[in-house]
Amino acid sequence: MSQNKLRNRQVLRGLLTEIKSKAKSLNTPIKIMEVCGTHTMAIHRHGLKKLLEDSGIEMVSGPGCPVCITPNEIHEAAINLVTENNNFILTTFGDMTRVPTRKGSIQTIVPAAGSQVKIVYSPEESLEIARKNPEKEIIFFGVGFETTIPSIALTVKIAAEEKISNFSVLSALWLVPPPLNALVSAKDTKIQGFLYPGHVSAIIGEKPYYFIAEKFNIPGAIAGFEPGDILLALSSILDQKKTGKAEVANEYSRVVRADGNPTALRVMDDMLKVKDSLWRGLGLIPKSGLQFKSKYSAFNAEKKHSLKIEGGSGDLPGCRCGEVLPGKISPPQCELFGKKCNPDSPYGPCMVSFEGACLAYYKYQR
Amino acid sequence: MCLGIPAKVIEVDESKHGKIDYLGTKVKTNFYLLEDVKKGDWVIVHAGFAISKLNEEEAKETMDLIREYIDHPET
Give the CATH number for residue B47: 2.30.30.140
Q: What was the pLDDT predicted at A29?
A: 92
Residues 6+ apart with CB under 8 A from B55: A253, A254, A255, A257
The model carries a pTM of: 0.94
Residue B66 has pLDDT above 80, yes or no: no
Q: What was the pLDDT predicted at A314?
A: 80
B1 part of a folded domain: no
Using a CB–CB cutoff of 8 Å, tell me whether A263 touches chain B.
yes
What sign results for the dihedral spanned by CA atoms B62, B67, B70, B75?
Answer: negative
B59 part of a folded domain: yes
B66 part of a folded domain: yes
Which residues in B have their CB inside 8 Å of a CB on A?
Answer: 1-4, 6, 28, 30, 32-35, 42, 44, 46-49, 51-52, 54-56, 58-59, 61-63, 65-67, 69-70, 72-75
- CA of B34 vs chain A CAs: smallest distance (Å): 7
A177 part of a folded domain: yes
Q: What was the pLDDT predicted at A1?
A: 41
A7 part of a folded domain: no
Chain mean position to CA B33: 13
**Residues 149 to 178 of A: which have CB under 8 A from any B CB?**
150-151, 154
Using a CB–CB cutoff of 8 Å, tell me whether A98 touches chain B.
no
**Distance spanning both ends of chain B, measured CA to CA:** 37
Q: What was the pLDDT predicted at A308?
A: 84
CB–CB of A318/A326 below 8 Å? Answer: no
Residues in chain A where the model's pLDDT stays below 50 = 1
Residue B67 has pLDDT above 70, yes or no: no
Name the residue in chain B with its Cα closest to that of A151: B49
The complex's ipTM works out to 0.92
Q: What was the pLDDT predicted at B75?
A: 42
Number of structural domains (chain A) is 1
Number of structural domains (chain B) is 1
Domain that holds residue B50: 6-71
A1 part of a folded domain: no
Q: What was the pLDDT predicted at A52?
A: 95
Is the CB of A254 less than 8 angstroms away from the CB of B54? yes
A190 part of a folded domain: yes
- Print the SS3 string covering B1-69: CCCCEEEEEEEECCCCEEEEEECCEEEEEECCCCCCCCCCCEEEEECCEEEEECCHHHHHHHHHHHHHH
SS3 A4: helix
- CA of A357 vs chain B CAs: smallest distance (Å): 13
Domain that holds residue A67: 31-366
- Render pLDDT for B7-64 as a digit per residue (tens, 0 to 9): 889 999 999 999 998 878 899 999 999 999 999 999 999 999 999 999 877 776 766 7
CA distance A332 to A350: 12
B57 part of a folded domain: yes
Q: What was the pLDDT predicted at A310?
A: 77
Nearest to A37 by CA among B10, B61, B3, B56: B3
Nearest to A286 by CA among A142, A191, A177: A177
Q: What was the pLDDT predicted at B56?
A: 76
B54 part of a folded domain: yes
CATH number for A112: 3.40.50.11740
**Length in residues, chain A:** 366
Residue B68 — very low, low, confident or very high, per pLDDT cuts 50/70/90? low
B27 part of a folded domain: yes
A193 part of a folded domain: yes
A135 part of a folded domain: yes
Q: What was the pLDDT predicted at B65?
A: 66
